[in-house]
Structure 1
Amino acid sequence: MELTSRLRLTNWLVSQGLKGLPENDLLRGFCERCRAAGMPLSRAIVFIDTLHPIFEGRGFRWNDGESNEADIFEYGSTSTGEASQTWRRSAFYHMLEHGHDEMMIDLTDSAALDFSMVGELAEKGHKHFAAFVHRFGEAGTIGEMDCFYSYYTTRHSGGFDVNHMAALRDLVPVLGLAIKSAAQVEIARTLGRVYLGRETAEQVLRGRMQRGVTEKIKAVLWYSDVRGSTAISERIGPDEIIPFLNDYAQASIDAIHDAGGEVLKLIGDGVLAMFTSENMANAKRAALRAEHKFRGNMDTLNARRASEDRPTTTAYVGLHVGEVFYGNIGSEDRLDFTVVGPAVNEVSRIASMCASVDRELLTSTAFRTGLDAAGRNYLVSTGRFVLRGIGHAQDLYTLDPAVAADEVVGGKYERYLAS
């Protein structure tokens, strides 16, 4: 591979890395350009650890022909189980343990080697294997993302020659830098979605970080609270408390997201969320759809937990609608992107009234008002109340008991939510 070709490929990687080309496209473009310049690549895999609540890292594949393998793969923890055994038998683990930055393997002699990947590669006709580990410095490490791993194979009978290896040594670090840059952007998005919420994260990543910058919006507000969580937490072992809270948080968050809502904050075992739309009737129906889905999620969850002889419960949900300030609130060095205003306090008070009236769902008068006639008919008054800290009395509404007791009414309600 000539120097001019290497420089062109380096420039391409830098320019595409700056533009934000996705990792799989970077790898494909890299391999195709290498082949066009005379390097007989047949397969390449790159992967990098990341920060994510579910998986440990992401990887990307390229093959010189059609394959049923996915271009992108995610992997879980390599510290336990079968994944740990596979990792410990890999060439990369061997390289890390012995301090090597690269390793070349003649795949025609793979039977003599006990590495987890080489036998399969040899069976598919690959002749030579070159692996690289590029370590990040302390300042460039984020969590477990401390290395860029990659390997390349060729079907050429002579394997990679001296010129090919020299080119890979020059070019792979540039590929690694471009992929690391893309991975860091994905980490920022993941952290934003996980800790701020999906829409809120997008707002922050678009640059809305200035303290005190908010907008006044009208939104349907949701506040849910796990029923009897304090008493249950006192009865179960310490190692069961977090799984218990996580299970019920997952049930509510999944339901909110499925209905198009935005989870704003987790407050102990409580969830604050909002639903927005140009048509507030649609936002209200989305909130009711989420509440209905939440009940279904909890039924499934409780059946599973009961079969495992673990404690079960349900939850209270309050729904309200009002104007709130949405944006950055806090100090110069610690901001929270959330909603504030009297309506936020009111929805939490409504949810807290559920226990007093023995209902799992309560909505405000403002929530019921503005629903279409069919929707209003499904909500019945539980009485008139003055909420703590709220200066006016109002009727609170709950779902008509006939929805749960009568199959026909329940079916109509589900069709209403789906429409």
Structure 2
Amino acid sequence: MNKIDTAPIAAWLTTQGLKGTDESEILQGFCDRCVAAGLPLSRALALIDTLHPVYEGRAFQWDSREPVDSVFDYEPTVEGNAAENWKRSAFHHLRETNGDEIRRRIGLGEPLDFYMLDTLLAAGHRDYVAMIHRFAQDSHIGEMDCFYSNWTTLEEEGFTEAHLEALRSLVPVLALAIKAGSLNRISHTIARVYLGEDAATRVLQGRISRGRAERISAVLWFSDLQSFTRITESLAPDEIIPFLNEYADAVISAIHEAGGNVLKLIGDGTLAIFKAEDREEACGQALRAERLLRAKLDALNARRAAEGRPTTMVYLGLHIGDVFYGNIGSADRLDFTVIGPAVNEVSRIASLCRFVDRPVLMSSPFVSAAPPPRDRELVSVGRYALRGVKLAQELFTLMPLPDEAATPRLAAPSL
């Protein structure tokens, strides 16, 4: 067979890598171009580890005969069936032997000694090649230390030497293009996980200059857990983080589902903002987040109580005001956050929840801007002097529904 012209395919891959094209689109386009150039691929699988709080990596698939899920995330391969399947794979064999390539001509009687080879043979595939392309040690991000791929053909006699030569020439360029796309995705994941959606978007748009901040009007949310210190003092050390994570997940997911942005986690405390341009809409989002949170806490506490594990509730302060939103810090360590008197005030409001025996308190400016609750009344709990704030503020809470009357109220700590 004549040598395959790989130059146009390599040039296309380079362009896609520079553009930061989605990894699954790169693999699809690559395989289609290979087939058109005379390389008889029938199935392809590419994997690259990632840096993500839940998943170990991402896989991309292509099949010449039928539609397949072109991308899926895979969980850690350190236990259970995932670990067993990984140990049986050709990729694990290559890592253990420090190899770069392994081939099995499965349609010509060679052993089916790796995971999925029997399935591939039953589907009509005749030849199988697996490859690893390793990254330099100092370019690792998390576990993303190499690019895995495997390739099959339906050709009766399998891949020819010309086919293999083309693959060996092109797959490193494919690996580089997909690595570029993955790095782009990882940078967004890291920024979003540690900064929040809105702040991450601003930072990735280039707003990282120290002191660069804008004045915005926003609804401020500050919440923390009831009796967190007392509860954690009685927990086994390995139970503290799971306890905190479960309640943090309830708070954060409620905020996000309602359209808010979490800016900071401070121990058991959460600072968030709702910055819809319309003040009433932003207040409405915060109230929706509060309703979502209570529902999530009811379900979480019911489950934990049934398991004989400690439960708690969330104290919440809501306020609205002007803040500066942007970069604060030194030349080499910045924090993208909000600052201003309103931030201090909302944390003081939240801290008063335990003393007035209510799970949520709202400032007068928030109540003035908020839409009337659909299902509860706003009731004044009186005027209070907030620590560090000159003028006393009238604070409000939500009147319980009639069917909440039998629900025990939060116990105020002994003073």
Q: Which TM-score band applies after superposition, normalised by the shorter structure?
A: over 0.9
Partner residue in 2 for 1:290: 289
Secondary structure, in 3 states, of the residue corresponding to 2:6? Answer: helix
Gapped regions of structure 2 (runs ≥ 5): 407-415
Q: Is the contact between residue 46 and residue 148 of structure 2 (CA under 8 Å) also seen in structure 1?
A: yes
- Alignment partner of 1:112: what SS? coil
- Residue 365 of structure 1 is matched in structure 2 by 364
Between the aligned partners of 1:350 and 1:404, the Cα distance in structure 2 is: 27
Residue 391 of structure 2 is matched in structure 1 by 392
Query: Which letter does structure 2 place at the counterpart of 1:391?
Result: K
Shift of 1:370: 1.9
Alignment of 1:17-416 (within 5 A): 17-67=17-67, 69-108=68-107, 112-373=111-372, 378-402=377-401, 405=404
Partners of 2:361 and 2:395 within 8 A in 1: yes
**Deviation (angstroms), 1:198:** 0.6
* Whole-angstrom CA distance in 1 between matches of 2:89 and 2:138: 27
1:403/1:176 Cα in 2 relative to 1: closer, same or farther (>3 Å)?
farther
SS of equivalent to 2:125: coil
The answer (yes or no) to whether the contact 2:108–2:157 under 8 Å persists in 1 is: no
- One-letter amino acid matched to 1:141: H
The 8 Å contact of residues 108 and 126 in structure 2, kept in 1 or not, is answered as no
Report the CA distance between 1:99 and its aligned residue: 1.3
Instruction: In structure 1, list runs of 5 or more residues that go unmatched.
Output: 408-419
Query: In structure 2, what residue type is equivalent to 1:82?
Result: N
- The code of the aligned residue for 1:230 comes to T
Distance 1:191 1:110, change over 3 A: farther
How far apart are residue 374 of structure 1 and its match? 5.5
The Cα offsets for residues 314-358 of structure 1, whole Å up to 9 and x where unpaired, read as: 110000000000000000000000000000000000000000000
Q: 1:149 to 1:15 in 2, by over 3 A?
A: same
Match of 1:413 in 2: none
TM-score, normalisation: structure 1: 0.94
Give the distance between the partners of 1:158 and 1:108, measured in 2 at CA: 8
Contact (CA 8 Å) 2:4, 2:162: kept in 1 or not?
no
Could you say what the CA RMSD is over the residues aligned between the two structures, in angstroms?
1.6
**Which residue in the other structure is 1:9 paired with?**
9
Residues 290-333 of structure 1 show CA distances to partners (whole Å, capped at 9, x for unaligned) of: 01100111111111111221111111000000000000000000
Equivalent residue number for residue 409 of structure 2 = none
1:128 and 1:112 map into 2 onto residues whose CA distance is 11
1:370-402: CA deviations, max 9, x gaps?
Answer: 224556972110111111111111110000123
Return 264-273 or 94-103, whichever deviates more.
94-103
Secondary structure of the equivalent of 1:356? helix
Change (3 A) 1:403 1:262: farther
Residue type at the aligned position of 1:26 = I
Contact 1:110 1:119 in 2 (8 A): no
Q: Which runs of 4+ in 1 moved over 4 A?
A: 1-4, 373-377
Alignment check: 8 A CA contact 2:56 2:76 kept? yes
139-148 or 252-261: which moved more?
139-148
Which secondary structure state, in structure 1, belongs to the residue aligned with residue 62 of structure 2? strand
1:140-195 deviation digits (Å, cap 9, x = unpaired): 21110001000010000011100000000000000000000100011100000100
Question: Contact between 1:369 and 1:376, CA under 8 Å: does it hold in 2?
Answer: no
Deviation of residue 116 (structure 1)? 1.0
Number of matched residues? 406
Identity among equivalent positions (%) equals 53
Supply the AA of the counterpart residue of 1:50.
T
Q: Secondary structure at the match of 1:170?
A: helix
Q: Which residue of 2 aligns with 1:417?
A: none
Secondary structure, aligned partner of 1:41: coil
Structure 2 contact 4–37 (Cα < 8 Å) conserved: no
